[in-house]
Every structure is written in structure tokens, then in C-alpha cells.
Structure 1
Amino acid sequence: MPEKSPSPRPAALPSLTGMRFIAALLVFLAHMSLARMFTDQQLNKEIDKYFGMLASVGVSFFFILSGFVLTWSARADDRPLLFWRRRLAKIYPTHFVTWIGGLLLILLTGRAVSLTEFAPGLFLVHAWVPKYEVLYGTNGVAWSLSVELIFYLLFPALLLLVNKVRPGNLWKWAGIMMLCVLAVPVLAETLLPNEPAGGAKFGWLQFWSVYFLPASRLFEFVIGILLARIVMTGRWIPISRTVAMLSVVPGYLLTVWLPGSYGLVAPAVIPLALVVASGAHADAAGRPSLLSGRKAVRLGELSFAFYMVHLVVAYHGPVALGSRRQWGVFEGIVRTGGWFALTLLISWVLYHAVEMPVMRRWSRPKAPPSAPVSPASGASSNR
């Protein structure tokens, strides 16, 4: 069978950048549902039912996207140490600032501070610890960075392995990775105790092993790597961005309806994989969309800071998450709008004052200074 022609590979994938903010917004909405801020308890129940699992979709999107984009932008002459340096320069400064900010705000509330609870989060190893207070730390969303850190450490080796897969076998390996995603909750439900915590429909250890454990989330990252290779080698199937996005709806409904930990990750992985790959394929072909527009891309650039700061603002801002305060519908909506606006403002500051300056300064080694040109050498070179 003749090889298919590879898709053109532009450096930028604008619609995927725009999608990043949508994914961060899904996580925001899921945490909004946790506030149970309305005096109408039936409304709280419905919001929690249909919005509460959106964070799972958003995080899974980020994990697949991470593998895809890193593969898409990989350079043949890149060295692991330089790659790791760039990734740490990207994620750690914003994490450090939000970790410190969360800690200071906790201290201001008078809450007791335990080093064993908070220190693992500072070093991004807390996703390996099956304790809620450790996973939450000073900024609850940072557990996903602990997972991403493992992705980054393994990426050079994973990319080397995937690059050795023949293009005709890439879809087969993507299917195998998907079966692994499906196997994780089966093993968790079979092998781990079902001891629900906090009214959840699954046991805590099942929840942790399926949702937080970095080893369990690695399959989504590898799916992203494989999909990037599929698009780059011209093996992508003819599916539009619109169809791919619509496929997320039944995937999410399964996330809501499936019992136990089966709905935590697996139902939305295939639709999200289709969204990422179809978006990249359209970008490579030069087909614009609303998500590739300037404003959408700008919001996508702020998405990491937005994601990292929104939960800290939720606990210490207008909605007072965790305080059990409740309001009427109008006031609850206004407070949510204030939470969103304040989060967006702080994320803009973090992006311009922390993320970008550190990336420019530390993401790559300084170029060695040019040797001064002596008059003699200068004269010689002009001959």
C-alpha cells in the first residue's frame, strides 16, 4: 500500500489554542457547581448533576492536547535536558506563585497549616498520594501539573518509541491505548474497596486511582502523541471539527450517567481525541474557525493562568466556595460573574508578569557572547 502524503505542519495550531480556554472554562463551571450557592436546593442539585463532571472532560482534553502539541512541535535535534527546561519554565513559575498565594490566603483565614499536607504540592509529587488533603494542598487544581510532570519526564522516550511505529500501525496502537483507558476503571472497581467518601458514587481509592494517579492518565497522553503522528503522516480520517465537537455531547452524557468510576475518564476520551486531531488537521489545511480567531487565541494563551488561579479565587473571592453561603438566583449569577472576571484579570497579570517573562528568560540557555573582532581579523575578512 503506498504511503499517504503527510499533512503540512505549520508551527502554530490556533484553533487548538482557542480550545484550551474552552477546556479551562469547563473546569471553572464544574467547580461553580460545587459551590451550591443558590437557596433553591433543586437548582443546586441539577447544576451539580449536569455540570459537576465537566472538569473531567476539561482535564482529559488538556492531557490529550499535551501529548499532541509536544509531538507536533518536537524538533529532531532537541535534547531531553533542554526540553525539560522549557517545560518547567512554562509551568512551574505560575504554579509556585499560585501555591504561595493559596498558602498565604489559608494562613489569613487562621486555618492550621501542615507541612505534610502542603509540601508535596510544592514539588509536584502530590498526585501520587491518595489523601484528599495532600491532593488539594494550597491550590486544588495543581494535582494535574503533578501528572503533567510525569508526562514531560517520559516524553523523550515515548516519542522515540512512537516514531518507530510504522504509519500503518499508528491507529492500531491508538486503539490499544484506548483499551487501556477502559481497563483502568474495570481494574479499580474490581480490585479496590468501594468506600464512598463525601457522598460520592465511587470509593475514594477507586476515584484516586482512576482520576488522579499519574500512571492511569498516561494513556491519554500517549493517545495524543499517536494522534499527532497520525495527522503528520497523512493518516487522519475525514471528520470535521464540528462533527468531532458534537461527539463530545454523548461522551459527556455517559460521563454523567455511568455508575461508579466508569464515567470519570473513559467515556469522553475518544470524542476529545477526535476534537484535538480534527482541529489540528483543519489548522494545517488553513481552514479558519471561530476558535482560531485572534480573541479566541488570546484567551487560549491565558488559559493556563486562568486554570491555575480560578479555584484560589473561588475559595477567597465572591462565591466563597466552602463557606456554604447561599444566595438567590440573581445574586448567585452576579457573584459567579465576579468570580470569572476577577479570575480573568489575575490570569492576565500572571501571564504578562510571570509566565511570559520567565519563558523568555529561562526556557533556553543564553547564547554565548560573540567573540570581539580584532582590527586585524576584520581587515582580513574584508578582503
Structure 2
Amino acid sequence: MSGKRIMDIEVLRAVAVLGVLFHHLQGSLFTDTVPLLEKIHAWAQPWWGVDLFFVISGFVIARGLIPALRACETRQARWAQIRGFWLRRAFRLLPSAWLWLALMLLACVFLNRSGAFGTWHANVQATLAGVLQYANFRFADSFFHYEYGSSFVYWSLSLEEQFYLLFPLLILVCRKHLAWALLALVAVQLFTVRTPLLMVIRTDALALGVLLAMWSAQPSWRRWQPTALGKPWLGVSALAAIAALLSFMATDRFTFAPYRIGSIAVLGAVLVWIASYNRDYLLPAGRPQRLMAWIGSRSYGIYLIHIPAYQLVREISFRLQAAGLPDFGGHPVATLLAAAGLIALLSELNYRLIEMPMRHRGAALVRRLGTPPTAVPSPGATSC
């Protein structure tokens, strides 16, 4: 596989992050009940976007890293590849993550008359968990027990960082048995009841993404190409149908709840499998695809930014109301538009000023160290 950007993967990134943004509207942007959101959530919950991100991450990372490591003939070359991979991931993900952790902590002190950003103590603890990459374990521990803090979405980022740290080592240890180890990991989780702890270390979606990447290097992958989806709008219909099914499965109306997460991971892998052929099956070329690709390319920043953006809109509304000025209160559409505009602006600034410059610096550092670059495509993982 080449390092060329796959547009359908960008579309899936956009679908995933938009689902997460919608899921967090109630509670993070709207503290009062919005009847329409309540009705939608009763039948559709789009939090599965996080699991779709996991599948994408496993696929994107493995399609470059596994061939690069297996092509190395010496131990020194393998460790050089791993070092380069870790450095690229660090420069790709950590600057934005740490920036927004710091900004949320500052907002908790200086922009928190309404209490939208939570308490200082909770945010300090959450910041430490985000920086030290144990946010997923703290999230499980805090679930329905105590306040996590504004950066609760960092649980998924910590899980991905743990994956990036351990996955190269797993490749070296398992060697030719890697596929079997990953299949066992998926099978065990598929039939396991997910406790809060198991929910935040769920790796079945990541493993399925890796398995898809490994399969894409085999001749059989080409033979299984879903060419029927090339018919006009049939692929879009398939995407909409699978997304609707995933959204229903994420609700309490889904009666096979013990198998919910594993089933969501499998359907997410089906979407990534369709996207992996790079034939625009899920969304034809055109303006809608370009818009979704823009969202997908900024999805990492959007994921990090949307909660503080929601909280900032609440804080601004509170201050306007306190000053006797027109505010967003009682106007959900205006509130939603204000939050969407703020997220779009901040994510674009973050992409141009932080993500891309730091990504280039990471690549330059790897070159200076003499580490051969892997073929990991530039639109890195996100997380939720």
C-alpha cells in the first residue's frame, strides 16, 4: 500500500468525529434538556464514532509500520524504525493534546464564572492523566463516581498512545503469528461483558484495523473488492445504513447489549474495509466529499477542541445573560451555530499553526537521526 491519502478514510474520520460531537451536545453544550435531542438519542446514539476511529487508527498505522519492520534485516534497523515511528507519533499527537490541556486548565481559572469548565482540582488531576497517558484508567475509575474534568475525551487518546507504544513491540514478539494473536484478542473481547475498565482498554477495534491492513497486502483482498458499491449512490446508501444500524446498537433499545462493543467494532471494520480500496465507494468525488475530507483531516483537532468550545459557549452565554445582554439561552440553534463556528475556526488554526508545523518538525528530526521513514500516511489517528 502506498502512502497516498484515501479519501474514503477521510470521509469516515469526518463521520466519526461528527458523531462524537453530536453525542456530546447534551450535557456539554446544553445543560438543560433539549426535547429533540432526547428523542433522537432514544433511537440513535453516535458515540460509536470512537470505535470507528480505533479501526481507522489500526489500519492506517499497520499498513505502513508492519511492512517497514518486516523489511528490516538487522536488529539495529528494526529499532531505528521503531524509534522513528514513536517520534513521528509523538510530534503528531502530543503538541496539540498538551496545548489544549493547558488551555482548559487556564480556562478553569480565568473563564469559569459559570462553572462550565468544572473544578480546579478535577482539571488538575485530568491534566496529569492526559499528559502521562493514563486518562483511560482514570476515566474508568471516575465513571459515575466523581468529576473527571473537562478533558474526559482524552481517555481514547491515551488508549491509542498505549497502542502506539506497544504495537511495534507486539510485531517483533509475535512475528509470523501476529494475525493469530490479533484474532484471539478480538475473539476474547467479542464475547466478554465490558466492565468500565474493559470499556477503556477495548482493543478489538484497533486489532481489526490492523488485521485489515495485513489483509490488504494479500491477493485475496483485491478479489473481495465490493465493486457493486461503485454504482451511483449505492455506497452512500450503504454508509448511511451501517451508520444508522450502529447508532441504534449504541442505544439501550439494543437487546444484545453484552455484545454491543464487539459488534460495533466489527461493523466499523466493515466500513474501513470498504474505504480501504480507495475507490470513493462511500462518497463520490465532489463538493460533499471535499467538505467531509476537510473535516476528516482536521478531525484530531476537532476532537480535542469540541468540549472546551462547548464549555466556552456556555460561559459566554452566562456572562451575556449576567450583563443583561442578548445571549444564546433558550435558542438551541443559535447556540449550536456559535459552537460549530468556534470549533471550525479553532480546529483550522490548530491544524495550520500546531499540527502541520510539528508534524514537519518530527519528520525532520527523524531524518536527522538517520531513521528510515515508514509509509504511514500523513493524516494520523484521532481520537475521541
- Does 2:270 correspond to 1:274? yes
Q: CA deviation at 1:135?
A: 8.3
Q: CA deviation at 1:309?
A: 0.3
SS of 2:216's equivalent in the other structure is: helix
Rounded to whole Å, the distance in 2 between the matches of 1:27 and 1:118 is: 21
With over 3 angstroms needed to count, the CA separation of the structure-2 counterparts of 1:104 and 1:125, relative to structure 1, is same
Q: CA deviation at 1:252?
A: 2.8
What's 1:258 paired with?
A: 254
Rounded to whole Å, the distance in 1 between the matches of 2:37 and 2:259 is: 21
What's 2:187 paired with?
A: 179
The amino acid that maps onto 1:63 is: F
With over 3 angstroms needed to count, the CA separation of the structure-2 counterparts of 1:352 and 1:42, relative to structure 1, is closer
Q: CA deviation at 1:342?
A: 0.5
With over 3 angstroms needed to count, the CA separation of the structure-2 counterparts of 1:27 and 1:345, relative to structure 1, is same
The amino acid that maps onto 2:46 is: L
Whether the 8 Å contact between 1:182 and 1:266 is mirrored in structure 2 is: yes
What's 1:375 paired with?
A: none
SS of 2:278's equivalent in the other structure is: helix
The amino acid that maps onto 2:14 is: F
What's 2:133 paired with?
A: 124
Whether the 8 Å contact between 1:66 and 1:224 is mirrored in structure 2 is: yes
SS of 1:282's equivalent in the other structure is: coil
With over 3 angstroms needed to count, the CA separation of the structure-2 counterparts of 1:26 and 1:284, relative to structure 1, is closer
Rounded to whole Å, the distance in 2 between the matches of 1:243 and 1:319 is: 40
Whether the 8 Å contact between 2:205 and 2:266 is mirrored in structure 1 is: no
- Does 2:157 correspond to 1:164? no
Greater RCO structure (CA 8 Å; 6+ sep) = 2
Aligned residues: 329
What's 1:140 paired with?
A: 152
What do you get for the CA RMSD once the two structures are aligned?
A: 3.5
Q: How big is each residue's C-alpha offset from its partner over 1:71-97, in whole Å with a ceiling of 9 and x where there is no partner?
A: 122234561111111101111000011
With over 3 angstroms needed to count, the CA separation of the structure-2 counterparts of 1:279 and 1:83, relative to structure 1, is same
Q: CA deviation at 1:28?
A: 0.2
What's 1:349 paired with?
A: 349
The amino acid that maps onto 1:250 is: L
* Of 103, 106, 110, the match for 1:104: 106
Rounded to whole Å, the distance in 1 between the matches of 2:274 and 2:173 is: 24
Rounded to whole Å, the distance in 2 between the matches of 1:158 and 1:164 is: 11
Rounded to whole Å, the distance in 2 between the matches of 1:317 and 1:41 is: 16
Whether the 8 Å contact between 1:24 and 1:307 is mirrored in structure 2 is: yes
With over 3 angstroms needed to count, the CA separation of the structure-2 counterparts of 1:50 and 1:312, relative to structure 1, is farther
With over 3 angstroms needed to count, the CA separation of the structure-2 counterparts of 1:364 and 1:80, relative to structure 1, is farther
Q: CA deviation at 1:348?
A: 0.4
With over 3 angstroms needed to count, the CA separation of the structure-2 counterparts of 1:249 and 1:317, relative to structure 1, is same
With over 3 angstroms needed to count, the CA separation of the structure-2 counterparts of 1:10 and 1:326, relative to structure 1, is closer
What's 1:20 paired with?
A: 13
What's 1:378 paired with?
A: none
What's 1:211 paired with?
A: 199
Rounded to whole Å, the distance in 2 between the matches of 1:33 and 1:288 is: 32
Q: CA deviation at 1:121?
A: 2.1
TM score, norm. by length of structure 1: 0.74
Whether the 8 Å contact between 1:98 and 1:309 is mirrored in structure 2 is: yes
SS of 1:365's equivalent in the other structure is: helix
SS of 1:304's equivalent in the other structure is: helix
Rounded to whole Å, the distance in 1 between the matches of 2:268 and 2:339 is: 27
Rounded to whole Å, the distance in 1 between the matches of 2:181 and 2:285 is: 30
What's 1:89 paired with?
A: 91
Q: CA deviation at 1:247?
A: 2.8
Rounded to whole Å, the distance in 2 between the matches of 1:137 and 1:300 is: 26
Q: CA deviation at 1:361?
A: 1.2
SS of 2:162's equivalent in the other structure is: helix
Q: How big is each residue's C-alpha offset from its partner over 1:318-371, in whole Å with a ceiling of 9 and x where there is no partner?
A: 588999x9954xx201211110111010000011111111111124426559xx
Q: How big is each residue's C-alpha offset from its partner over 1:244-270, in whole Å with a ceiling of 9 and x where there is no partner?
A: 523343233122123596365223211
The amino acid that maps onto 1:209 is: L
- Does 2:42 correspond to 1:49? yes
In our comparison, the structure showing a higher alpha carbon Rg is 1
The amino acid that maps onto 1:58 is: G
Whether the 8 Å contact between 2:328 and 2:334 is mirrored in structure 1 is: no
Structure 2 segments unaligned to the other structure (5+ residues): 73-79, 114-118, 230-234, 320-326, 370-384
The amino acid that maps onto 2:142 is: K
Identity, % of aligned positions = 20
With over 3 angstroms needed to count, the CA separation of the structure-2 counterparts of 1:281 and 1:162, relative to structure 1, is farther
The amino acid that maps onto 2:219 is: G
